[in-house]
Chain A
Amino acid sequence: MISPRYHREIPQRYRLEAGKCKQCGNISFPPRLVCPKCKSKSFETVQLGREGKILTFTIIRVGPDKFSKETPYVVAIIELNDGVRLTAQVSDCDVDKVAIGDKVKLVFRKIQDEGKSGLHCYGYKAVLT
């Protein structure tokens, strides 16, 4: 992740800011310019709740170079209580005990480092509740 892109994504990665369509109420995360449901271009910014459940997940046992020392780890599709779905790593868990339907909450964690001297990049990860 390069620094300018990381900076642009801070409202979503740090604060879970989403776009709520003023016409039909559909919530887009990350925010969109056009509502995928009603094609409206009018949105208000809303902050998503941090609690939800695991819809499905995978266990990464052979990770990309940057995460190769973190394996095995879980990446899950999570449905938040307000209906929005997102992808996040599930941290602090025994990977063999994670199950579909497990309740989770999103917490603030370090996602990755830009090499040895670059930025620390932060964002949301899930933990089991």
Chain B
Amino acid sequence: MIGIVGYGSYLPRYRIKVDLIAKQWGADTEAIKRGLMLYEKTVPGTDEDTITISVEAAKYALQRARIDPQKIGAVYIGSESHPYAVKPSATILIDALGIGPHVHVASYEFACKAGTEAMYVAYSLVKAGEMEYALGIGADTSQGAPGDALEYSASAGGSAFIMGKENVVAEILFTNSYTSDTPDFWRREHEFYPRHAGRFTGEPAYFKHIHNAGKNLLEKSGLSPKDFQFAVFHMPNGKFPQEAGKKLGFTKEQMEVGWISPWMGNTYSGSSPTGLSAILDVAKPGDKIFMVSFGSGAGSDGFIYKVTNEIDKVRDLAPKLRDMLDNDKIYLDYGEYAKFRKKIILNE
């Protein structure tokens, strides 16, 4: 049996309500809330970035996995906001958590699906018998240009998953990826904010890739939506994942637990992985979970998990996602948010 042996998530405490962003740009607050189904989003502290978020999430994953960090043979961090253009984020993470130095590390990048890329490669290396454990992480402090639609959703957070063969809490039964050259969103080198193609990011990009990856995954597995207790899809806003899931045949009830974007925003590479984390916090042994990510550019990774009896032994060993999402929040006004996100031009 191969799958997740430990999982952990981390969300910053800071939040901004979409009302304040809408007010700043003279937008119709109710229309934004209704159209995007977003209410507030996480904001990283000035001392937080993809590396610090990854370290905290991976620390919780290690607490749940209860393994010697030295046994981890690979660490991959997927993000579109790696703090360094040249220096893998995981070089810092392994030294913080006592992993390695006999370990393979890399930074992955694929817009919002870099996290599931890291998870897929970590899983594949364990499956190939190359190593006992591998760690895949999706984390971001995503950027949205001031006044752009992305500013309402681009948020911060991440999740870490240790893959292994012993004491598996969620077995990975099937995977499937779907990728094409679809220029719906990109960021050129040295540019601070990404660009996107507006409505083109919807039907030809997000919906097409999620649907095809999901449909193929169902066909491959011989399962149908009613065989699953939970489903989670990439959450660029609150509205898209509900529509994508419905089109594949999933119900609102199956998607409810993992649907956290209205209060978290879009944590990009940490989006569907963090939804998965919320599901694992409440799932029962035997439950099946359907998950499809999406990364602009564009591609989707799909996974089918089956929760095992081990879940009851580990879920209370680290903080739960819903607690981090709902409690101890510190709300910022737009000025503080602009300062935190370095949107204000300062003298050297």
Contacts and interface: CB of A to CB of B under 8 A. Distances in A.
Interface of A: 10, 14-15, 47, 69-70, 91-92, 94, 107-111, 116, 120, 122, 125
B45 A120 contact: no
Contact of A122 (B51, B330, B348): B51
B96 A110 contact: no
A69 B345 CA distance: 12
Contact of B95 (A15, A94, A107, A120): A15
The 4 nearest A-B residue pairs measured at CB: A109-B47, A108-B55, A14-B96, A110-B47
B148 interface: no
A60 B185 CA distance: 42
A74 to B, nearest CB: 13
18 contacts: A14-B92, A14-B96, A15-B96, A70-B46, A91-B45, A107-B52, A109-B45, A109-B52, A110-B51, A111-B47, A116-B348, A120-B49, A120-B83, A122-B51, A122-B52, A122-B92, A122-B96, A125-B47
Contacts of A116: 348
B98 interface: yes
Given A91-B45, A110-B48, A120-B83, A15 B330 contact: no
Contacts of A108: 52, 55-56, 59, 96
B98 A15 contact: yes
A45 to B, nearest CB: 11
A92 B13 contact: yes
A14 B95 contact: yes
Contact of B47 (A10, A15, A47, A91): A91
Contacts of A109: 45, 47-48, 52
Interface size class of B (residues with CB under 8 A): 20 to 34
B84 interface: yes
A45 B52 CA distance: 24
**Which of A70, A94, A110 has the most B CB atoms < 10 Å from its CB?**
A110
Contacts of B47: 91, 109-111, 125
Interface string B311-348: 00000000000000000001000000001000000101
A67 to B, nearest CB: 10
B84 A120 contact: yes
Contacts of B98: 15, 47
Interface in B10-43: 12-14
Contacts of B14: 92
B346 A69 contact: yes
**Which of A14, A92, A108, A109 has the most B CB atoms < 10 Å from its CB?**
A108
Contacts of B51: 110, 120, 122
B217 to A, nearest CB: 35
A27 B45 CA distance: 32
A108 to B, nearest CB: 4
B219 to A, nearest CB: 43
**Which of A69, A94, A120 has the most B CB atoms < 10 Å from its CB?**
A120
B98 to A, nearest CB: 6
A110 to B, nearest CB: 5
Nearest to B44: A110
A91 B246 CA distance: 42
Interface in B97-135: 97-98
Interface string B37-81: 000000001111101100110010000000000000000000000
B55 A110 contact: no
A107 to B, nearest CB: 6
